[in-house]
Amino acid sequence: MANKLYFRYGVMGSSKTAQALMTKFNYEQQNYKVFLIKPTLDTRDNFEGKQIIRSRIGLEAEAVAFLPDDNIEELFNKYNKNKNYRAIIVDECQFCTTKQIEELKNLTSLVPVFCYGLKTDFQTNLFEGSKRLLEIADSITEIKSICSCGKKAIINARFSNGKLVTSGSVIDIGGDDKYKALCYDCYKKYAKENK
């Protein structure tokens, strides 16, 4: 059976990181090693020089961080000298470059690759990494979440001082302090209130 490139996406707070760490746990329960990585753009959980992937429910694991200009194939080969990794898991994959997603796709000749992240930014535009994953992933799964009104959440809305933010830098790392998962109707309502 051929290895695949998996893209599992959802809005902020939809348990993407928790699911990534549960996938890692499932492999490790079978005594398989997992190459867990994340982009350096996600700076929220770096402690004492260690790169940590941490979910909102408290699961965490140490990871290898990579820069936007790093070659993921070379990075994997560097860490996989004993050829004992059985899977690659990428958290916050939306921050990958197009080239890095293609490198991850190439690595499926060796192992399955699981990418977890956001599909769109706070302005509802596709992230570069997510766009390429939607184009070339073998399997695409939405991790669903709900808006506070009860409808399906599809938008990663950014807030500042209680007001919806609709412009500014695409990258503004944060969690529940800055972002809220909204359905489209609630997003429109907040946008209308801001006018």
Q: What is the pLDDT of residues 117-167, one digit of tens each?
A: 999 999 999 999 999 999 999 999 999 999 999 999 999 998 888 888 887
Does the residue 120 lie in any domain?
yes
Task: Give the Cα separation of 50 and 183 in Å (integer).
Answer: 36
Annotated catalytic residue, options 92, 103, 135, 142: 92
**CATH assignment at residue 129:** 3.40.50.300
55-93 pLDDT, tens per residue?
877 787 889 999 999 999 999 999 998 889 999 999 999
pTM score, two decimals? Answer: 0.90
Does the residue 136 lie in any domain?
yes
Does the residue 65 lie in any domain?
yes
| DSSP bridge partners of 65 | 38
46-47 sheet: strands from edge to edge: 46-47, 50-54, 60-66, 33-39, 85-91, 113-117, 5-9, 139-142
The whole domain housing 43 covers 5-144
Please tell me the predicted confidence (pLDDT) of residue 48: 47
DSSP-based three-state secondary structure for 146: strand
- At 70, phi and psi to the nearest 5? -70, 145
Is 92 one of the annotated active-site residues of the chain?
yes
Per the structure, how many domains does the chain have? 1
Contact (Cβ atoms closer than 8 angstroms) between residue 179 and residue 158: yes
Task: Give the Cα separation of 130 and 56 in Å (integer).
Answer: 22
Does the residue 166 lie in any domain?
no
pLDDT tier for residue 175 given thresholds of 50, 70 and 90? low
Does the residue 60 lie in any domain?
yes
Does the residue 180 lie in any domain?
no
